[in-house]
A and B are shown apart, each in its own frame.
Chain A
């Protein structure tokens, strides 16, 4: 894995997100800043995990990346082309290469369609088969790939369980032979036992087909299991971005630290001694986020500079980006001063 990653790092990023902002008008005065100045890159063949609590803009961010929403400002480039200015043939090609797996397998499949119609939908749109036999064979192949069988093809969605439905959703995305898949909490609606199955299915598919994932989730353990790198979002902004092991072993941002301390450990003795960092207060409304650092009003180390301007996402150690004055080298002196004052 690691050698693969190194060669990937030398390559051009597959997806590049720069200063992405997505605001929604809720009334004449109020605007929800769902995604506020987010930048990251996704290398070919890697899995970028995107974690954060409910309502922090993970899904919105993901949907912007795959072109489902038109962002307020900022750019998303896929293979060097701006995703939101694609037209005609290029747009169709983009739709073929970039696919989505949705969170809710009950809502994302049309109840009036049979499984073969659902999986064949993308193939019909892009004319990916020669004749009916080829279409049927391909659908059988896809069903087999996701762990279902040919006999399921003529059934309706209501005849399946949640895990099976999610597999159908995955098969639908795979039908057009994509290169990049945005997985929008693909396992959170499922039973824990099924979660592992589906996650392992995604990993094995990635190994077999060289897929690139943007994996959105709020389950930290799941993200660690599946991701090469992880970005932590809070209130529409990326707080920390690092290699998944690095992030879990050495979290730097106070918010990430609090998140990591909340992961339950499957060992009663360690679990008993686990120190939880409990954050005070509530997540501020994205309609009126505080100026400066988004996390300042709940941060135990908030300094004066945090109230003034939002800290930029800076590389503090190789591949480890943090948006916190406390961790950034230039501001180390200020941090030390603040510590001393306490």
Chain B
């Protein structure tokens, strides 16, 4: 036994290194201090798929702005001689049944869809936020009544409500925006209400109140910063939804009417000649799929990046 001991100690010495206390800077900050947003951005960047789709989205947006100018052809001139030409060097995406350049038309349609989606999502967010914040912060009877109103709005079948609106008020951008936003804000309102309730009861808001912070202090210092991530997420998820709704409406023929057009109305025309000229359907379809997919993937990645629970 005793003869073994020295061997064990030397063995240990070889394996372990003595550490001087002075070199132990346990509390030294090794990593750079990072804020909430830069941390979220760091984690978003790590998501390769999301970065790929973010790039695609960026390209699509740039093309939606400058695309029509690239081919040098305008998107409204009807050319009876050059109807239904398949994609070629002259017409990159071919022409439609009235001889109009599909390349230019696709980007203009995408632009229309994007603008409608963006404006509608902003409307939805603003109304939902204000409404939800009032519900959450006032509470009591006011909350009850406002909640019932929300329920009524979200019970009515969306498509019927929208169709009715468009039939009564006619087609056009303002009417379409109204129709798209009329019931979509209810989800946001509920979300914000829940968040405000949660934060109001949270211990750090209680602590701020105990420190003497008033209502404004709590809203500016705690409620807004803690709701921001949620709202960005809501925005990222609302946009593809609106694009889809608008497309379906236009596809059904109750959305935008000629001469206005969007991806949906292009799909509708393409679908009627699908058998002979499939490219007229496939191209707008592919664009729609790409843009919605990008938004969805980015939305998912944002959720992961903004959720403090998933921090590493």
Interface residues of A (CB under 8 A from B): 66, 68, 91-92, 95-96, 98-100, 102, 104, 107-114, 121-122, 125-126, 149, 151-152, 154-156, 158, 169, 172, 176
B-side binding surface: helix, strand, loop or mixed?
Answer: helix
Inter-chain CA distance A112–B224, complex, in Å, is 10
Q: Which of B200-238 contact A (CB under 8 A)?
A: 202-204, 206-213, 217, 221-222, 225-226
Tell me which residues across on chain B come within 8 A of A151, comparing CB atoms.
27-29
Interface presence of B33 (CB below 8 A) = yes
Kindly provide the distance from the CB of B250 to the nearest chain A CB, expressed in whole angstroms. Answer: 41
B226 touches which of A110, A125, A126 (Cβ 8 Å): A110
Tell me whether A111 and B308 are in contact (CB under 8 A).
yes
A154 touches which of B33, B203, B226 (Cβ 8 Å): B33
B207 touches which of A102, A149, A152 (Cβ 8 Å): A102
A66 nearest in chain B by CB position: B210
B221 nearest in chain A by CB position: A121
Interface presence of B157 (CB below 8 A) = no
Tell me which residues across on chain B come within 8 A of A68, comparing CB atoms.
206, 209-210
Inter-chain CA distance A95–B214, complex, in Å, is 11
Tell me whether B211 and A107 are in contact (CB under 8 A).
no
Tell me which residues across on chain A come within 8 A of B212, comparing CB atoms.
91-92, 95-96, 122, 125-126, 176
Interface presence of B258 (CB below 8 A) = no
Tell me which residues across on chain B come within 8 A of A107, comparing CB atoms.
202-204
- Counted as pairs of residues, one from A and one from B, with CB atoms less than 8 Å apart, the total is 77
Tell me which residues across on chain A come within 8 A of B34, comparing CB atoms.
156
Interface residues of B (CB under 8 A from A): 27-29, 33-36, 39, 202-204, 206-213, 217, 221-222, 225-226, 308, 311
Tell me whether B33 and A155 are in contact (CB under 8 A).
yes
Inter-chain CA distance A100–B206, complex, in Å, is 9
Kindly provide the distance from the CB of B131 to the nearest chain A CB, expressed in whole angstroms. Answer: 24
Kindly provide the distance from the CB of A85 to the nearest chain B CB, expressed in whole angstroms. Answer: 17
B210 touches which of A99, A110, A126 (Cβ 8 Å): A99
Inter-chain CA distance A326–B139, complex, in Å, is 47
Tell me which residues across on chain B come within 8 A of A104, comparing CB atoms.
203
Tell me which residues across on chain A come within 8 A of B206, comparing CB atoms.
68, 100, 102, 108
B209 nearest in chain A by CB position: A68
Tell me which residues across on chain A come within 8 A of B35, comparing CB atoms.
114, 156
Inter-chain CA distance A261–B234, complex, in Å, is 55
Tell me whether B211 and A112 are in contact (CB under 8 A).
no
Counting chain B CB atoms within 10 Å of each CB, the highest count among A91, A104, A112 belongs to A112
A110-B226, A111-B308 known; A125 vs B27 contact (CB < 8 Å)? no
Inter-chain CA distance A104–B212, complex, in Å, is 20
Inter-chain CA distance A281–B156, complex, in Å, is 51
Counting chain A CB atoms within 10 Å of each CB, the highest count among B33, B39, B204, B311 belongs to B204
Tell me whether A110 and B36 are in contact (CB under 8 A).
no
Inter-chain CA distance A1–B159, complex, in Å, is 76
Tell me which residues across on chain B come within 8 A of A95, comparing CB atoms.
210-212
Kindly provide the distance from the CB of B200 to the nearest chain A CB, expressed in whole angstroms. Answer: 13
Inter-chain CA distance A149–B308, complex, in Å, is 25
> What are 17 pairs between A and B in contact, CB < 8 Å?
A68-B209, A68-B210, A95-B210, A95-B211, A102-B206, A107-B203, A109-B204, A110-B204, A110-B225, A110-B226, A121-B211, A125-B213, A149-B27, A151-B27, A155-B29, A176-B211, A176-B212
A156 touches which of B27, B36, B225, B226 (Cβ 8 Å): B36
Tell me which residues across on chain B come within 8 A of A155, comparing CB atoms.
29, 33
The 10 closest A-B pairs by CB, nearest first: A95-B212, A108-B203, A122-B211, A112-B225, A110-B204, A154-B33, A107-B203, A100-B210, A125-B212, A102-B203
Tell me which residues across on chain B come within 8 A of A108, comparing CB atoms.
203-204, 206-207
Given contacts A96-B212, A155-B29, A155-B33, 6 further A-B contacts (CB under 8 A): A98-B210, A107-B202, A110-B222, A110-B225, A151-B27, A156-B33
Inter-chain CA distance A104–B202, complex, in Å, is 11
Kindly provide the distance from the CB of A157 to the nearest chain B CB, expressed in whole angstroms. Answer: 9
Kindly provide the distance from the CB of A191 to the nearest chain B CB, expressed in whole angstroms. Answer: 17
Kindly provide the distance from the CB of A129 to the nearest chain B CB, expressed in whole angstroms. Answer: 15
Tell me which residues across on chain B come within 8 A of A121, comparing CB atoms.
208, 211, 213, 221
Tell me which residues across on chain A come within 8 A of B221, comparing CB atoms.
110, 113, 121
B202 nearest in chain A by CB position: A107
Inter-chain CA distance A66–B211, complex, in Å, is 11
Inter-chain CA distance A110–B226, complex, in Å, is 8
Inter-chain CA distance A336–B183, complex, in Å, is 74
Inter-chain CA distance A122–B27, complex, in Å, is 26
Kindly provide the distance from the CB of A285 to the nearest chain B CB, expressed in whole angstroms. Answer: 23
Tell me which residues across on chain A come within 8 A of B222, comparing CB atoms.
110, 112
Inter-chain CA distance A8–B221, complex, in Å, is 40
A125-B212, A149-B27, A158-B311 known; A172 vs B36 contact (CB < 8 Å)? no
Tell me which residues across on chain B come within 8 A of A99, comparing CB atoms.
210-211
B206 nearest in chain A by CB position: A68
Kindly provide the distance from the CB of B53 to the nearest chain A CB, expressed in whole angstroms. Answer: 27
Kindly provide the distance from the CB of B160 to the nearest chain A CB, expressed in whole angstroms. Answer: 37
A152 nearest in chain B by CB position: B27
Tell me which residues across on chain A come within 8 A of B27, comparing CB atoms.
149, 151-152
Tell me which residues across on chain B come within 8 A of A152, comparing CB atoms.
27
Tell me which residues across on chain B come within 8 A of A112, comparing CB atoms.
36, 222, 225-226
